[in-house]
Amino acid sequence: MTNDQSASARQAPVTVVGLGPMGLALAGTLLDHGHRTTVWNRTPGKADHLASKGVRPAATVAEAVTASPVTITCLKDYDTMFEVFDSAGDALRGRVLVNLNSGTPKEAHAAAGWAAERGVSYLDGAIMVPPPMVGQPGSVFLYSGSREVFDEHRATLASMGDPRYLGADPGLGVLYNTALLEMMYATINGYLHATALVGSAGVSAVEFAELAIGWFLPAALGPMLAAEAPVLDEGDYPGDLGTLEMNLNALEHIARTAEERGVHTDQPRLMREIAARAIADGHGGKSYLAVYEVFKNAAS
C-alpha cells in the first residue's frame, strides 16, 4: 500500500448512529482524525454542536448509512439497533456495520445472523474507556467477528482507540467486555463501601483516598477515583458522562451473561440490586458514584 493509499484508508468516510455521550465522543474523535463524518440520532438536536465543527447530520438512518462505507453504531442495546436499522430498508446492504452496543454473547450471535440475512458485513465490539478517553493514548476497543472486516477497516477503527481483535466468534467482544466491567464495578463498589466504613468514624473521602488508592487501587481506576473523592464528601454526583441508569443497563448485561454462560450469578446480581436501590432512592440521573449514598445509609 502506498503512502497515499494508507492516508486514504485512515481518513475513509464514517457514519456514527447514536449520539449519547459515547457516540458524541466517537464522532468528534473521527472528525478530528480527518474522517468525513456523518451522524444520525433520534433527537436531531444532539448533533448541533458537532455540525458546527464539520460533522454532517443526516435526516434519516438510510441517508446516514449510504454516506459512508462503514457505519458505527453506539445505541442502548441490540433491540434498539435492530429497530433503528430495520427502518433503513436495504440501505445497509453491501456495507459494513460495527456495533459498539453492550449486551450478551447470545445477543451478539443473533446480531451477526441478522446482519448476514441482510447482506451486511458485521463486526461486534466494545469500548473499554469512558467518553473523555476516546482517541487518547491507552484507550482500548475490543472487536470480534469477521477478521476480514477488521483487517480492512483497522485504520479507521484505530482512529478511535487501540483496536484489539479477539477472534472470529462474534460473542467474544461482549463477553470480554462484561468480564472486565464486572472487575471494574466490583472494585469501585469495594472502594465506596470501604469509604463509607471509615466515614462512619468521621474520616473524609479525600483523607481516606490518600491511603486507599496508593495501597490498592489499580492504575486504570486510581487516578479517576482520587479526583472524584471530593465529590463523595460533597454528595454531588454529576451524570454528564454517564448516568446510574445507563450503568444499570451494563450491570444487567453482566448478570445475564453470567446466566447464559452457566457461571455463578450472585455477585453480578448483587451489584445490579445495589444500583437499582440507588435509582429507587432518586439517584438515577447521577453518576455511578451515587451508590455511595446506599452504602452510607444502609444501616438506617
Burial of 154 (0-12, 13-18, 19+ CB in 10 A): middle
CB 71 within 8 A of CB 13: no
- C-alpha distances in Å from residue 174, one per residue of 55, 105, 150, 170: 29, 6, 16, 8
What is residue 56's predicted lDDT score, i.e. its pLDDT? Answer: 96
Per the structure block, which three cell numbers stand in for 67?
454516506
Q: How far apart are CA 122 and CA 131, in angstroms?
A: 23
pLDDT digits (tens, 9 = 90+) for 182-197: 999 999 999 999 999 9
Cα 37 versus chain centre, distance: 19
Per the structure block, which three cell numbers stand in for 95?
456495507
What is residue 85's predicted lDDT score, i.e. its pLDDT? Answer: 96
pLDDT digits (tens, 9 = 90+) for 71-93: 999 998 999 999 999 999 999 99
Domains of the chain by start residue, with CATH: 3-169 (3.40.50.720), 175-297 (1.10.1040.10)
Per the structure block, which three cell numbers stand in for 27?
464522532
End-to-end CA distance of the chain: 66
> How many helices (H) and strands (E) in the chain?
14, 8
What is residue 4's predicted lDDT score, i.e. its pLDDT? Answer: 45
- C-alpha distances in Å from residue 44, one per residue of 24, 57, 62, 242, 298: 12, 8, 15, 20, 42
Location of C-alpha cell 440520532: 41
- C-alpha distances in Å from residue 222, one per residue of 13, 97, 112, 215, 287: 37, 35, 37, 10, 17
Q: How far apart are CA 94 and CA 254, in angstroms?
A: 32
- Pick from 197, 189, 298, 176: which is nearest to 244 by CA? 189
Q: What is the mean pLDDT of each run of 10 residues along the chain (300 residues)?
A: 48 94 95 96 88 94 96 94 93 96 94 96 95 92 97 96 97 96 93 94 94 79 87 93 92 94 95 96 96 81
Sort strands 140-145 and 121-127 into parallel, antiparallel or unpaired. Answer: antiparallel
